[in-house]
Amino acid sequence: MAEREARERIVEAADRLFYSRGIGRVGMDAVRDEAGVSLKAIYREFPSKEDLVLAVLARRHDVWVNGVEGAVGGIGDPRERMLAVYDYLASWFEEADFRGCGFINAFGELGGSSARVAELVREHKQSFQRYVDRLVADAGWPASVGPQLAILAEGAQTTAAIAGDAAAAAIAREAAATLIAANAPR
C-alpha cells in the first residue's frame, strides 16, 4: 500500500472513530483495526495521537469549506447565498451519523490540554467567520451582521447535536432571514 493511501486510510478511519465515539475513547489499536494498517504505519505517519487529531481536523476543515462553498457557489442573489449556508447545515444535520461539529467536540475534549488543537479549532472557526463576513460585505450589509449570522450557524450546530433535532437549521435560517431583512440596504 502506498504511503499516501495508508495516510488517507488512517485519517479517514480515525475521523470516523473520533467522531462517533469521541477522541479520548479511541485508542490507536482501534484506529489500526479500522484502517487495516499496522501500528508501525500509523506511528510512522503520526508520531502522536495529537498529530493524528490535527490531521483529522484538517480533513474536516476541507470537507466543511467544500460543502459550504458548494452550497453557496451557484447562487447569485446575496440573500439566498447567505441562507444557503443554513440549508447546507440542514442537510448535514439530517445525516444518520451527525454528532455535532467535530471541531467543537475536539475543543471540548482537548482544547484545555492541547494548545495545537485549540489553535486549529480557533482558526477553523475564524475561517468560517471570515467567509460569512465576505458574504455580508458582498451583499452590502453592515459588517456587524456577519458575526450575528455566523453565531446563528454555530448555535444551530450545537443545538442540533444536543437536541438530536435537525430543526435547529430551519430555526437558525428563519432568524438569519429576519436579521438580513432588518439590515438590507435601503
- Give the three cell numbers for residue 161: 447535536
Residue 42 makes CB contacts below 8 A (sequence gap 6+) with: 10, 28, 31, 32, 35, 52
CATH 1.10.357.10 residue spans of the chain: 56-183
Residues belonging to the chain:
186
- Give the three cell numbers for residue 107: 475543543
Q: Which residues of the chain have pLDDT under 70?
A: 1, 186
Distance CA 81, CA 160 (A): 22
CATH 1.10.10.60 residue spans of the chain: 1-47
What pLDDT sits at residue 39? 96
Cα-Cα-Cα-Cα dihedral sign, residues 112, 64, 156, 172 = positive
CATH number listed for the domain at residues 1-47: 1.10.10.60
What pLDDT sits at residue 1? 55
What pLDDT sits at residue 185? 76
What pLDDT sits at residue 161? 97
CATH architecture of 56-183: Orthogonal Bundle (1.10)
